[in-house]
Amino acid sequence: MIRFIVYLLLITLAAFAMAWFADHPGELGINWLGYRADSSMAVLAFAMILVFFLGMAVQRLLVFLARDLPFSKEKRARRRAEKGYGLLNQAMVALGSGDGKSARALSDKAVRLLPEQPLTHIMAAEAAKLSDDGDRVRQHYQALLDDDLAAFLGLRGLVLQERADGHSGKARELARRAVALRPKSHWALRTLVDFAVQAADWDEALETLDKASRAGVYDKAQSTQHRAALLYCQAVDANLANDQPHALELAQKAAGLRPGLPPAVALAARLHRQANQKKQAEKHLLAGWAAQPHPLLLKEWQAHFPTETAFARLQRIERLIASQPDHLESRLALATAAMGAERPDRAMAALEPVLESGDPRIALLRASLAVRAEDEDNGHLWREKAQHGVHRPCWRCANCGFTRDRWLPLCPSCAAFDRFGWHVVRGDGMALPSASASASAIRIWDGSSGAGRAVDRIGDQRDDKPDDGPKRVD
């Protein structure tokens, strides 16, 4: 409707102009090279309009000759593009079907026909991956770095390839370039945190974690949990360097941010105890037990008064477990203390609700109670159950199911950071619910020597009980 009104207005204006020229024809004379031409303004206006439309017709003819004729340059370029995109589609089909050889040949042809298209380099790189040709993968992703719009994609591809080849140092530098190019990219920030943790560079990991939190990569709870884990790792390093004051400061922060991380709470309590600050140590241990009961906390609690009487120890254990009286670890601690205080009735009352838990520690305590009651048959029965216990407590990686007796910052199996949680694991590999405050995954790209050193030195600060070695629950 609007277009019709516009056309109507233009026709009306043209008619008005023609009528005006008819009423005011005027006179026009031209002298040129001895010739004279007399005419009117209306004729001149008509001639100008005619020349204008002839010029438009000539321009369209030239465009047709340059673009649509078979021998024109633009026509050839368009045909090359159509052929290139057709090859690209065929390469995508071959890639999806796992035919790496065909995908590579087709994508290479597409790159020659469409050298400036980022998609062709991406397809060629993926085809090269199927052929395990790392050099060609790098070549195609490197070609994307010259394109402002595709440079970030090229950096990501190079990071993944360097990681796959075990070149963590190069991959880390590329990740830094990716963060500099897009400071709020979730992938780039996560990746840089991963590499910093893998290299045990806790300072850079904390700095990048702050940037990632501000960018919304992690929510507040995740950020707090990961920060506590990194502070604890720093505390272990400081303690190994005999810088106990700094280690205590870091361990306090970690335990305050995440009381559900028993190794951090136990370290903070131990450093307080060594500094003769028993009240602060007990405060950490009570808060830690309320968040996550664990044998490490019980061991440190008992270490505060190593010479106390059995009855006094029982009273102090009751104070420790008051916040989680029904937890299996609480009942286990109470039963052990009651047996030491010669209170078998109290020990039996504590064990009764968890006798069928399948935990071998419970079965062993029950066997000891039977022996004390001179019930050898029952004691033998419970010892048999302990040997065939179907459940066991351990640190379990939420990412891959790998289990250890000690907490580690990195999983030796999948190299994931901060994924170990305290669980009671069934023999079939399933973890029963636990009060563990396990954090969200931060993936580590590979198990390089830096990651191994971090695992070793942090893990060595854990539980004093012997480690049976790595286990995996499949």
Q: Please name the helix (run of DSSP H) or strand (run of DSSP E) that holds residue 95, with its range, or none.
A: helix 73-96
Residues 6+ apart with CB under 8 A from 358: 389, 390, 391, 426
What are 234's two structure tokens? 């720093």
Mean pLDDT by 10 residues, the chain (474 residues): 83 80 73 77 76 86 65 66 73 70 75 73 80 85 86 92 89 94 92 89 94 92 94 94 94 95 95 93 95 94 90 93 93 93 91 86 88 84 79 85 86 84 67 34 29 49 41 37
CA 80 – CA 291 distance, rounded (Å): 66
Q: 328-340 and 310-320 are packed helices; what angle lies between their axes, rounded to 10 degrees? A: 170
3-class secondary structure, 417: strand
pLDDT of residue 231: 96
What are 66's two structure tokens? 């340059």
Gap between the terminal Cα atoms of the chain: 70
Nearest CA to 422 out of 272, 306, 279, 266 is that of: 266
**Between vectors from CA 402 to CA 433 and to CA 384, what angle results, nearest 5°?**
70
- Scanning the structure block, which residue is given the tokens 């942090």? 458
Q: β-strands 442-443, 416-417: how paired? A: antiparallel
* DSSP codes of every residue in 220-270: HHHHHHHHHHHHHHHHHHHHHTT-HHHHHHHHHHHHHH-TT-HHHHHHHHH
pLDDT of residue 82: 72
CA 296 – CA 269 distance, rounded (Å): 11
Query: CB of 136 within 8 A of CB of 161?
Result: no
Torsion angle in degrees (nearest 10) through CA of 426, 430, 432, 438: 130
Nearest CA to 422 out of 411, 407, 439 is that of: 407
Beta bridge partners of 53: none
CA 70 – CA 86 distance, rounded (Å): 20
**Between vectors from CA 462 to CA 459 and to CA 464, what angle results, nearest 5°?**
125
**Chain centroid offset of residue 407 CA:** 21
pLDDT of residue 435: 33
pLDDT of residue 18: 72
CA 207 – CA 186 distance, rounded (Å): 15
**Between vectors from CA 458 to CA 190 and to CA 405, what angle results, nearest 5°?**
100
Identity of the amino acid at 250 = L
CA 442 – CA 416 distance, rounded (Å): 6
Give this prediction's pTM.
0.70
**Between vectors from CA 170 to CA 168 and to CA 172, what angle results, nearest 5°?**
65
* DSSP codes of every residue in 280-339: HHHHHHHHHHHH---HHHHHHHHHTSTT--HHHHHHHHHHHGGGSTTSHHHHHHHHHHHH
Give whole-number Cα distances, 459 to 116, 264, 416, in Å. Answer: 51, 12, 15
Residues 6+ apart with CB under 8 A from 55: none
CA 130 – CA 95 distance, rounded (Å): 8
pLDDT of residue 70: 58
